[in-house]
Structure 1
Amino acid sequence: MPATENAARIVLFDFDGVLMRGDAFSRFVRSRFRRSWWRSLLALIVLPVLLPFYAMRSLRMPIIGVFVRISLLGTSQARFEALTRDFALELVGKPRIFIREGISAMRRHILAGDRVIIVTGCEETLVRAIFDSIGLPDLEIVASRLRGGRLGMRKLVHNFGKAKPAQISLRGISEPWDLAYSDSAHDIPMLKRATEAVLVNADTRTSLRVRHALGREPRTVSWS
């Protein structure tokens, strides 16, 4: 059931493209390659082998996953956490990295007593480090997760597309949710389960896809 007068509304925010410009975890992975010549060399060696398969949509995520693994080879859990903290501090220092109207909207929901949850494909440790860096350490976050292994960090959960509603449900959060903010048609599975879907800075194609999937007009906002 959606929230009643006596219960906090459930408000979901995507992260990349809604609260922060660009893709935070991709920025982190690129920084790992820039700072390690041997990782860059290994990536260049496997690139010609994998590149022809990138045209196949079903293989894109696994191929991207290969480069994520290379970027984190030999990285322990403790080292990964330290790296994300350092990178978060570096990232939030960049000009206009945050979508300020998105952050303001999120803060308004918090002040109104809504239960705000960040639901993102970005990696959880990095997202938490970013919010810690701007003084929002207590936000609920449902995100992708990595786990340690003998060769370094590797994927545990990729919180993307259909996985988002499943991961939200695993936290004991019942649908329909009151509001969901996103900038992407990949979030249709999440948006469909919200009483009100809000598209942020979406282009015409994305708006049409979401409207068709939802069978109703989503609310649209243009944030800077």
Structure 2
Amino acid sequence: MDEGAPLVVFDFDHTLYDGDSGSHLFRWLIQRSWWRMVLALLIAPLFGPMVAFLPTRRVGISGFVWAGTIGLHRPRDLDAEIDRYVALHGGQIRPRLLPIALDVLHRHREAGDRVVVATGAPPELARAILAFVAHQDVPVVGTQVGPRLGGIGATRHCHYEMKMTMLREAGFTAPVAIAYSDSSADLPLLLAARKPVVVNPKAGRVAMFRKVLPAGTPILNWGCAGRAGEPVA
């Protein structure tokens, strides 16, 4: 890929994929055994409310990740479970990939743009899901994990300002030409882009996006039911 080509960054969840892929994965990991489900219920009063608020979301999610990964000790152990999860659930996962989003991604690649997916999910999860549509070779920057208290935890969460940091560290140092995301957690990315595009936002966030992003920023719906944005045929 031409290093001088326009850099185009896609979020993954609610942008290319209809839903929260990480939550789906970790729910499955927890539901593998009864004692993990009991453990998740026990920690839910503490960690559950944290998930709802941006400043504490990372800590809240990490509690449930830990419950689902006790017994795993290395990132490659989690990658193996991710591949197993995707293989077992292809029939449910494949329909969640948004055709309009995939068409936009494909057109950028055909145009020679430098395309990267930046996600708060583990990168192997996005890669494995994109393999269903032959885009597994798209570079993915995602949350890094490592051993924690007998399980796996995030060592660096690819989220908010850290997403920009991790993109730069991965070699994507050029100015962002276009960024696609649904989330207010990606405001640093959207504000850094010459052309931000909001896709599938929550209805309650539309006014905020219109206020803080440049006038005329597209706010689109790529097929996420229950999400806002101008429908795209």
Deviates more, 1:107-116 or 1:170-179: 170-179
Q: Within 1, Cα distance between the matches of 2:46 and 2:212? A: 36
State the partner residue of 1:86: 84
State the partner residue of 2:102: 103
Question: What is the total number of aligned residue pairs between the two structures?
Answer: 220
Mapping for residues 69-84 of structure 1, pairs under 5 Å = 69-77=66-74, 78-84=76-82
Give the C-alpha shift of residue 136 in structure 1. Answer: 2.0
Q: Within 2, Cα distance between the matches of 1:21 and 1:55? A: 19
State the partner residue of 1:11: 8
Mapping for residues 200-215 of structure 1, pairs under 5 Å = 200-215=199-214
Question: 1:166/1:22 Cα in 2 relative to 1: closer, same or farther (>3 Å)?
Answer: same
State the partner residue of 1:31: 28
Give the C-alpha shift of residue 93 in structure 1. Answer: 2.0
Letter in 1 for 2:147: G
Task: Describe the superposition over 1:83-109 as per-residue Cα deviations: whole angstroms up to 9, x where unpaired.
Answer: 101112234322621111001110111
Question: 1:133/1:148 Cα in 2 relative to 1: closer, same or farther (>3 Å)?
Answer: farther
State the partner residue of 1:62: 59
Question: 1:63/1:218 Cα in 2 relative to 1: closer, same or farther (>3 Å)?
Answer: same
**Aligned-residue RMSD, C-alpha:** 2.4
In structure 2, the gaps of 5 or more residues are 224-233
What is the identity percentage for the equivalent residue pairs of Structure 1 and Structure 2?
29
Task: Describe the superposition over 1:43-72 as per-residue Cα deviations: whole angstroms up to 9, x where unpaired.
Answer: 222234555767776334312211111110
CA contact (8 A) 2:8 2:178 kept: yes
Instruction: Say which SS state the counterpart of residue 8 (structure 2) adopts.
Output: strand
TM superposition score normalised by structure 2: 0.84
Give the C-alpha shift of residue 114 in structure 1. Answer: 0.7
Mapping for residues 141-220 of structure 1, pairs under 5 Å = 141-149=140-148, 151-220=150-219
CA contact (8 A) 1:89 1:130 kept: no
| Higher relative contact order, structure no. (Cα contacts within 8 Å, ≥ 6 residues apart) | 1
Question: 1:59/1:222 Cα in 2 relative to 1: closer, same or farther (>3 Å)?
Answer: closer
Deviates more, 1:99-108 or 1:196-205: 196-205
Letter in 1 for 2:16: L
Instruction: Say which SS state the counterpart of residue 44 (structure 1) adopts.
Output: helix
Task: Describe the superposition over 1:156-193 as per-residue Cα deviations: whole angstroms up to 9, x where unpaired.
Answer: 11011111111112123235311000111211100000
